Amino acid sequence: MIVPAYNAAATLAEQLQALAAQRFDGDWELVIVDNGSSDGTADLARRYRQRFKEFTLVDGGSRRGHSAPRSAGAIAARGELLAYCDADDVVAPGWLQAMADAARYYDLIGGWLDVRPLNDDATRGWHQPWPRDRLRSWLLPYAVSANLAVWADVLRDLGGWSSEYEAGGEDTELSWRAQLAGYRLGFAPDAVVYYRYRSGLWETARQSYGIGVHCEQILRDFAVLRDGTHHGDRRTAVDQADDGDGSALVRAIGRAAWLATRLPYLAASRRHRGQWISVAAEYLGRLNGAVRYRLLDRRRARSWTGCRLKYVHADRVGYRHPGSAERGEGARG
């Protein structure tokens, strides 16, 4: 089990207590990766060492980001299955067992993010709800790194976490790359993580802006899905519903008009104000990303639909419901 942590002293103790209380039949180890914290995160983690049969604290070095600490944890871990969660969330008691059970059938697994226990009603209203019966999808389904497991040999075969996605989007990139390589991505509904949103408007806006930028980076790197040109068994581009024939700039103008008609949200409740700011920040990030990655003038089957808003069915590329053949009996493509 791998937990990246950066300045997480305020939340890590609750997560460590939940990890220590896991109901799991087998042996497992905990790997904490301190990603350059300055608030005593590492010292706090050491105080919990005796709660775990196998405990490793890794110095993640000065390179902060999303992929680097996850890669460092994978290198330090000795187990065959790598289960990831975050230092500011809380795993449910049966989380690890559910991940291990699902790993019998899949190469890469995502669980459910339950946002109810750690967030108030207004904060939850700033975000699209997480599906309870499937993984969230955009052009392909993807597992979220806050609740993800992958076999170590699969991660090695894929070349690990991409260093090009240190600022975010690393989980979508890995999930898509795995599916296009023929590996199976699955959903473990009983692998529940209580997920904590950013509680402040500024922090939420920054996160939403980053999501927008990374959407465009992913579209650049996965042109095979974006343009619907990939073919073959279980590897065809999916759900190519057109987003309009205009350029990304035209679509951006349309989104700006949507925001303009909802300007009263800014003077309304905290929930509505947060919704407007979150959407505006993501669209601004998408425009910035389209410029940065030279996608502004491309005609694309899917561009400004929003990373968090699209879903596809589970019978698509490399994605399987529970009940598929066990891993080792056709589990790989």
CA 192/CA 229 separation, integer angstroms:
36
pLDDT at residue 233, as a whole number: 33
Please provide the DSSP assignment of 44-60 as one string: HHHTTGGG-SSEEEEE-
Answer whether residue 311 shows pLDDT above 70.
no
Q: Higher model confidence: residue 267 or residue 247? A: 267
pLDDT at residue 102, as a whole number: 98
CA 96/CA 75 separation, integer angstroms:
20
Please provide the DSSP assignment of 242-290 as one string: ---SS-HHHHHHHHHHHHHHTGGGGGS-HHHHHHHHHHHHHHHHHHHHH
CA Rg value for the chain = 20
Average pLDDT of the chain is: 84
pLDDT at residue 145, as a whole number: 97
Cα angle 6, 166, 119; round to 5: 50
pLDDT in tens, 36-52: 999 999 999 999 999 99
Answer whether residue 80 shows pLDDT above 80.
yes
In what helix (H) or strand (E) does residue 114 lie, and over which residues does it extend? Answer: strand 108-114
Task: Give me the numbers of helices (H) and strands (E) for the chain, helices first please.
Answer: 11, 9
pLDDT at residue 313, as a whole number: 32
Q: Higher model confidence: residue 61 or residue 245? A: 61
pLDDT band at 254 (very low <50, low <70, confident <90, very high): confident
Q: Is 304:251 a contact under the CB 8 Å cutoff?
A: yes
pLDDT at residue 286, as a whole number: 87
pLDDT band at 318 (very low <50, low <70, confident <90, very high): low
Q: Is 110:48 a contact under the CB 8 Å cutoff?
A: no
pLDDT at residue 77, as a whole number: 97
pLDDT in tens, 276-292: 898 899 888 988 988 89
Cα angle 38, 42, 46; round to 5: 155
Answer whether residue 236 shows pLDDT above 50.
no
- Mean pLDDT within 64-93: 95
Q: Find tokens 């309009």 and name the residue.
A: 244
CA 198/CA 192 separation, integer angstroms:
19
pLDDT in tens, 97-155: 999 999 999 999 999 999 999 999 999 999 989 999 999 998 999 999 999 999 999 99
